[in-house]
Amino acid sequence: MSENNWDSCAVIPSTNCNNIAFSLASKYNITMLQDSIRILQAQGYKATKPRRLVLDVLEKTEKPLSPYDIQDVLHTRGKYLNHVTIYRILSLFCSLNLAHKMLSSGGFVKCSLAATEGCHRFMVCQHCGAIREFADKELCQEEYTFAEDLGFYTEHHLSEFSGLCSRCYRK
């Protein structure tokens, strides 16, 4: 088994395999938040207060969150957004590649690769819950070609790999 170096990811200990780990310094979070706002505006969307609130929650979390989880986080901060509004915001963020919905948990995470070309994929450690996002343009093209060879025309595809990160594999 080949080892991937996941040591740069901060790992959140938990029995739940649906945690996400980002190693982002707070200065980097501010930059990512500003980049996300620029992307919204460049696509003709306003950086409304509700959108900024959801972006801020996604930036500061280390696990996938459902719309209800986001609503709870906002409530602890003295803010309120209806869960339907949060669903709509998350749908917009996913369409702009600012966030992704995790297949394994159904929660949403902030895109950590920004404008990296290729379809974004996730490797999820089943032991510690660490998640590593990656993109590969050639793999994406191969999947489209494979589907077309079978007579299927893909509009969008998602995938998650589950297994063990290098840290858990070594144990």
- Looking at CATH, the fold of the domain delimited by 26-170 is given as Arc Repressor Mutant, subunit A (1.10.10)
Domain ranges of the chain: 26-170
Cβ burial of 166 (10 Å; 0-12, 13-18, 19+) is middle
C-beta of residue 99 within 8 angstroms of C-beta of residue 110: yes
Compute the Cα dihedral for 118, 121, 90, 33 and give only its sign.
Answer: negative
Please count the other Cβ atoms lying within 10 Å of the Cβ belonging to residue 75. 11
Across the chain, which has 171 residues, the per-10-residue mean pLDDT values are 33 28 35 84 94 92 85 95 94 87 74 71 82 83 89 81 88 80
- CA distances, 171 to each of 128, 129, 166, 168 (Å): 12, 15, 9, 5
Whole-number pLDDT of residue 114: 67
What is the pTM assigned to this prediction? 0.64
User: What is the pLDDT, as a whole number, of residue 116?
Assistant: 67
pLDDT of residue 30: 52
pLDDT tens-place string over residues 128-156: 877 788 888 888 888 889 889 999 988 77
pLDDT at 28: 40
Reading the block at residue 109, the tokens are 């995470």
